[in-house]
Amino acid sequence: MDSKTLYRTWLNEWFRVYKRPTVSDKTYENMRIIYRKHIPDSLKLMPIGSIGALDVQKALNLVEHSRTRLDVYNVYNGSLKVAFMLGLIARNPCDLVIKPKHVRKVGEALSAEELEKFLSDIASSKLDKFFRFCLLTGCRRSEALSVEWSDVDLDKAVIHIRGTKTLTSDRTVPLLPECAELLESMIPVDGRIFPHRGSYVTHEFKKLCPSHKLHDLRHTFATRCLECGISMKVVQQWLGHSRMETTASVYTHVPDAFSRSEAVKFKLL
């Protein structure tokens, strides 16, 4: 390969050699979606040595959402940086591109009143047990949908969560008594515990709880752990976070009432 290699050809080589062995299946699939949907054919058909910063900037400006725009930028920058390192191009044009900014929207746990109403509303739902499982484990949607009956050990009271987001997201965690009771009430069959589509559970959740996202059940679990006095380190392990800072800053929200009750415990001397 050299500077005359089409960007399309180089991108596929970069995906195969540099990304496929180093990222999760989900991340790799997301990158392939970016390739198909957000990198214009006009850029794919350019020789990599002819791609300039203006070309990349114009292509980025076509991406509507800030989070997706940042993901697309990372593909451009990652692939062209390696091309530069290998001597295929004189410089990485992304060095002169304005890196997109994305402010992550932090989710919000359900309040005690919202949780009480939600539990009442889902009682007649076909997904009642799925939503309760999420509340009792803190699983991500994809994780909950991936759990198989073989992952559950009721005798040892543990459950294997098939996480793929980070190295620590694949984990074995204690099976809380209420969750064990929930699973014991179900009829085990081969395969997954919840054989549903992700889009279906998300759609049903929004109908029942329109002011929140499904992922907020994970936030709710983490916040309830904090309120119950469970250590942040343990919550980090249960959620499968690689860094405690993520657990502390993103997934725990201290309600005002709980904060006030904790404040009375403080004494200077």
Residue 260 pLDDT grade (very low, low, confident, very high; cuts 50, 70, 90): low
**pLDDT tens-place string over residues 62-79:** 998 888 999 999 999 999
When mean pLDDT is compared over 29-33, 85-89, 190-194, the highest value belongs to 85-89
- Note if the pTM is more than 0.75: no
Q: Which domains does the chain have, with CATH numbers?
A: 7-96 (1.10.150.130), 112-263 (1.10.443.10)
Spatial CB neighbours of 133, under 8 Å, sequence gap ≥ 6? 139, 144, 179, 182, 183, 193, 194
pLDDT, residue 66, reads 85
φ, ψ dihedrals at 47, nearest 5°: -60, 140
Which tokens sit at 144? 């909950």
What is the mean pLDDT of the segment spanning 145-157? 91
Q: Return the structure tokens found at 77.
A: 């920058």
The CA distance from 39 to 15, in Å, is 14
